[in-house]
Amino acid sequence: MKILVCISNVPDTTSKINFTGDNKEFDKNGVQYVINPWDEYALTRAIELKEAKGGSVTVLNVGEADAEPNIRKALAIGADDAIRVNAHPKDAFFVAQQITAVAKEGGYDMILMGKESIDYNGFQVHNMVGEMMGIPSVTPAFKLDMVDDSTARLEREIEGGKEVVEVKLPFVASAQQPMCEPRIPNMRGIMTARTKPLKVVEATGGEAKSEYVNYSKPEKKSGVKLIEPENAGELIKLLRNEAKVL
């Protein structure tokens, strides 16, 4: 089974978010980048399936060279090889086009992604790729198993419940917890990752359909109003009369 796992290179959750150039650009200064946390679920599940059924796991990132440390990290976790589409990812549509081009070329049985990137919070690339390729996209899935060699069984979350879906290969799915316990690289993985193939390809096409023009930050909270625990009931009155949320 050939599995393609798409990973996004994102600022760590604990990063301070700032903008430069008159709030027109994200300030990368001092920001630590990680593999998008949801994508780690996709990656680990792909490796588990490979271990159980045989095959290969390829990781794919659409981004610039600064994503390579995290691509190597994915190889250290257990992917076999990697592809980086060398481009500045302009928007989700652009990224989906690049993923689709690679996926068509490689003939994968399964394309796994994270549910959502924690930087641009799009929750869209997986469904776009499914539509561009004309194959099912099951998102967000929290369970993924093979029923037989050509059919997978997934459970996806819907508001207020879940759906059980069976699809034929190939398909796209996005992962969320509790699909698996994401793995961290071990020493041996880190050593072997250095020599695993990382292919850099140029972008094809290049249409973006949106233009980020400006950023802003939410207003700062004015500070916490403390209520004595003995008078806890006061809080309910404040929530009704002052905050007006009850």
Partner 1 sequence: MSVLVFVEGLNGEIKKSSLEAASYGSQVAQAMGTTATAVAIGEVHEEALAKLGEQGISKVLYDADDRLKQFVADAYVKVIATAAQQESAKVLVFSNSNIGAAVGSKLAVRLNGSLATNVTELPKIDGGNFTVTRGVFSGKAFADVNLTSDVKIIAVKKNSTDIISNGGSTATVEKLSADLAESDFAAAPKETVMQDTGGGVLLPEAEIVVSGGRGMKGPENWHLIEELAKELGAATACSKPVSDIGWRPHHEHVGQTGITVSPNLYIAAGISGAIQHLAGVNSSKVIVVINKDPEAPFFKAADYGIVGDALEVLPKLIEAAKALDK
Ligand X SMILES: Cc1cc2nc3c(=O)[nH]c(=O)nc-3n(C[C@H](O)[C@H](O)[C@H](O)COP(=O)(O)OP(=O)(O)OC[C@H]3O[C@@H](n4cnc5c(N)ncnc54)[C@H](O)[C@@H]3O)c2cc1C
Which residue in the block uniquely carries the two structure tokens 């997986």? 126
- Which of 56, 87, 90, 120 touches partner 1 (CB under 8 A)? 120
- Which of 166, 184, 192, 199 touches partner 1 (CB under 8 A)? 166
Residue 159's alpha-carbon distances to 124, 140, 156, 162, 163, in angstroms, are: 17, 11, 10, 8, 10
| Contact flag: residue 124 with partner 1 (CB under 8 A) | yes
Which residue in the block uniquely carries the two structure tokens 């990368």? 28
| Contact flag: residue 232 with partner 1 (CB under 8 A) | yes
The Cα 132–Cα 144 span in angstroms is 22
Contacts 24+ apart (CB under 8 A), 17-23: 17/217, 19/215, 19/217, 23/214, 23/215, 23/216
Size of the site for ligand X (CB under 6 A): 30
Of residues 226 and 242, the one with the C-beta less far from ligand X? 226
- Which of 47, 57, 102, 125 touches ligand X (CB under 6 A)? 125
Segment interacting with ligand X (CB under 6 A) among 16-24, 49-57, 117-125, 234-242? 117-125
The Cα 23–Cα 17 span in angstroms is 11
Segment interacting with partner 1 (CB under 8 A) among 58-66, 74-82, 114-122, 196-204? 114-122
In degrees, rounded to 5, the angle at the alpha carbon of residue 65 between the alpha carbons of residues 63 and 71 is 75
Q: Which of ligand X, partner 1, none binds 67 (CB below 5-8 Å, type-dependent)? A: ligand X
| Contact flag: residue 123 with ligand X (CB under 6 A) | yes
Cis peptide before 182 (omega within 30 of 0): no
- Which of 30, 54, 107, 161 touches partner 1 (CB under 8 A)? 161
| Contact flag: residue 79 with ligand X (CB under 6 A) | no
